[in-house]
Amino acid sequence: MGRIVCRHCGRAFIVPEGVSRARCPHCHTTAQVGRSGQEPAGRHAGAGWRGGQPRQATSPPQPAGPMHPGAGTYSPPLPSYPAESRWSPAIVVVPLVLLFMAAAAVVGYLVLGRGLGLAEVPLEVRCNAPGARWFLDGVDQGLVLDGTRRLVRPGLRKIRFELGAAQAEEAVEIGPWQREALIEHTFSDQDIVAYVRAGTCGIVIPNLNERPMGTGFLALLPPASGGVRDLAMVGARDADGRDLVITAAHVADAAMDTSHLVCVFRTRDGLVRCPVRYVYYIDRQADVAVLVLARRAPEECQPLLLATELPRAGTEVGLVGNPRDVAQFSVIFGRVSASDNDGKVQVNAAVEPGCSGGPVFEVARGVVVGITSAKFLRVAQQGLAAPASTVAGPLREWQQDSAAALRTAQATTERFREHSTRRVAGNAAWLGYGAIQGYAAIAAVVVEQCKSVGWQAAPQVARTVIAALVRGDNDEGGGLEDVIFFVPLALDYARTRSGLPKSVEDALQKLRALHDQALRTAANPGSYPSPEAYLRAMEAILGEAKRAHQVVLAYAQLP
């Protein structure tokens, strides 16, 4: 036995006697060994082992212990190594076989899977109305939006599109070797208008003879993530079956309480009335409001898709409203003349009373781009609408956490009731006092005309003046007749609502009585002996009305 030091790694190991070649057990370097463990001479000298002097083989050291004091550390003998290191072909063959098997599996899937119809083919679905829903083999796939892609298996696939009551079904044959498939459908303008009208409702106050106060509509938002399956049907329905209705803020302010607002939907079976439960959101500066219905809207009244971007100038739009009767929705067509982020969408269309709060939609796509707000008084064929994106934030909050949003709606409703009570009382007082001022002006006209014909002709002069005012100065009519009809209704409506202080209620009652007294006085000048007595009677009524008016204004906090 001999101890050898490897030149490659510098470690020592033991070599048995008579071995001509040895391999280092540490770095596996193989070299020749001379006789008796000496380094070989010639060209192999120094090739693998350190030192040129022969080393004598020594016996392995004995283990240390009390029986062998001073002995060195014991190293067990190492096994002998093969004379040569052989290369194995499995190192290369096994990876090649695995690579070939993986390639065969991929080719088999592409060839056999396509041939047998197991591989899926991309299918793209398009529609001109993003708010339309589509069904694949009878399974609801959500909204089409601006294009939808699905992976489907080859074969005959049936696609059905639904936009309100309009439906269209088409079939597409998808081949196994087809890279992708495309199917698209275009709804007509009549289908889009019918879809928008179905999602629109009239808003009325039952106490005011069911006359329409404005218009509203069901609404939904496209998904924030851009997907389709996670679409939030905001406004369509929440977990408790409540629907959201979008309208104008001044339409909601027409009532003192949400219980005085009713949304009327038109269905195939007739009119369906849905009372309002809460005011979830109201922005009087932007003139938009979001109402929460007390129960579900009819199933056939689908929500309308809101646009998140402003419409471009020149876009053809339609305005839906009920200016003449409840839920008799008329459509007014026009074009967008201007729009900006901070203001309104200006529409070149003839906006009529009763259209406020109604949807302004793109005729080509059926997407709501605005909420009708007002009309220009001095410019014909011009109206204003709030951008549909104004209510996007509140609808997103309702989508994310309807329970927290419901608590917000309850708090907003309480503030709305207080504000509406003050507002309606103040507006009624303005109407009543203004009507009495008008009757005093009629008395002054009668007195002026009687200067030339004598006071005895005062009754005939008064009838002539009042008849002219009732008939109106233009072809539209109205005038004094509307004043005589609406002012008492407004005063009665304001004074009979709950929550009014006693002094305000008495002041409104006083204005109601003074209104009737002033109308009788102005129409009957013959009951007074002279023009001076006639005018003094009107001035006394006007003074009492002014004091009652100031009491109501102090409560309403109106200028």
Residues 370-385 as b/e (b if ≥16 CB within 10 A, e otherwise) read bbbbbbeeeeeebbbb
Q: Which two tokens stand for residue 393?
A: 């934030």
Residue 392 confidence (pLDDT): 86
In the chain, ranges of CATH 2.40.10.120 domains: 192-400
Residue 477 confidence (pLDDT): 43
Q: At CB < 8 A and 24+ separation, what contacts does 165-169 make?
A: 165/194, 165/195, 165/198, 165/300, 166/191, 166/194, 166/195
Quick: pLDDT tens for 451-501.
Answer: 888 898 899 988 888 888 876 554 444 577 778 888 888 888 788 777 788
Residue 24 near residue 8, CB atoms below 8 Å: yes
CA distance 359 to 378: 23
In the chain, ranges of CATH 2.60.40.1120 domains: 121-187
Residue 391 near residue 327, CB atoms below 8 Å: no
Residue 111 confidence (pLDDT): 58
Q: Which residue has the higher pLDDT, 59 or 214?
A: 214
In this model, does residue 35 exceed pLDDT 60? no
Helix orientation angle between 502-523 and 458-471, rounded to the nearest 10 degrees: 120
CA distance 215 to 203: 5
Residue 487 confidence (pLDDT): 87
DSSP one-letter string for 37-95: GPPP-GGGTTSSBS-SS-----PPPPPPBTTBTT-----PPPPP--SSPPPPTHHHHHH
Q: Which residue has the higher pLDDT, 394 or 19?
A: 394
Q: Looking at domain 192-400, does it have CATH number 3.40.640.10? A: no
Q: Quickly list H helices, 496-530.
A: 502-523
Residue 349 near residue 321, CB atoms below 8 Å: no
CA distance 494 to 486: 12
Q: Which two tokens stand for residue 303?
A: 């929500």
CA distance 404 to 407: 5
Q: Averaged over 144-170, what is the pLDDT?
A: 85
Q: Looking at domain 121-187, does it have CATH number 2.60.40.1120? A: yes
Relative to beta strand 139-143, strand 359-362 is: unpaired
In this model, does residue 204 exceed pLDDT 60? yes
Q: Which residue has the higher pLDDT, 438 or 226?
A: 438
Residue 104 confidence (pLDDT): 79
Residue 436 confidence (pLDDT): 93
Lowest mean pLDDT of 234-238, 312-316, 348-352, 400-404, name the range: 234-238
pLDDT above 90 coverage of the chain, percent: 24
Say whether 314 sits in a helix, a strand or coil. coil
CA distances from 48 to 8, 82, 172, 491 (A): 7, 17, 77, 118
- Report the chain's mean pLDDT, rounded to a whole number: 79
How sure is the predictor about 122, in pLDDT bands with cuts at 50, 70 and 90? confident
Quick: pLDDT tens for 517-532.
Answer: 999 999 999 899 999 9
Q: Averaged over 348-355, what is the pLDDT?
A: 84
* DSSP for residue 306: B
CA distance 295 to 334: 34
What is the amino acid identity at position 53? Answer: Q
- State residue 346 phi and psi, 5-degree precision: -90, 130
Residue 37 confidence (pLDDT): 42
Lowest mean pLDDT of 60-64, 294-298, 511-515, name the range: 60-64
Q: At CB < 8 A and 24+ separation, what contacts does 153-156 make?
A: 153/117, 153/118, 153/119, 153/120, 153/121, 154/114, 154/117, 154/119, 154/121, 154/178, 155/117
pLDDT above 70 coverage of the chain, percent: 78
The single residue listed with the structure tokens 């009819």 is 298
In this model, does residue 70 exceed pLDDT 50? no
The sheet that has 133-136: what strands, in order across it? 139-143, 133-136, 155-163, 166-174
Residue 432 near residue 514, CB atoms below 8 Å: yes
Q: Which residue has the higher pLDDT, 355 or 118?
A: 355
Residue 233: CB atoms within 10 A of its CB come to: 14
In this model, does residue 367 exceed pLDDT 60? yes
Residue 330 confidence (pLDDT): 86
Residue 341 confidence (pLDDT): 57
Say whether 472 sits in a helix, a strand or coil. coil
- State residue 347 phi and psi, 5-degree precision: -120, 135
CA distance 105 to 2: 58
Residue 137 near residue 172, CB atoms below 8 Å: no
Quick: pLDDT tens for 395-450.
Answer: 888 878 878 888 999 899 888 888 878 888 888 999 999 999 999 999 999 999 99
In this model, does residue 307 exceed pLDDT 80? yes
CA distance 119 to 186: 30
Nearest Cα to Cα of residue 358 among 346, 334, 374, 380: 374
Residue 45 near residue 39, CB atoms below 8 Å: yes
Residue 262 near residue 274, CB atoms below 8 Å: yes
Q: Averaged over 73-80, what is the pLDDT?
A: 46
**pTM exceeds 0.95:** no
* DSSP for residue 382: -
Quick: pLDDT tens for 165-189.
Answer: 889 988 888 877 777 888 888 999 9
Q: Which residue has the higher pLDDT, 381 or 543?
A: 543
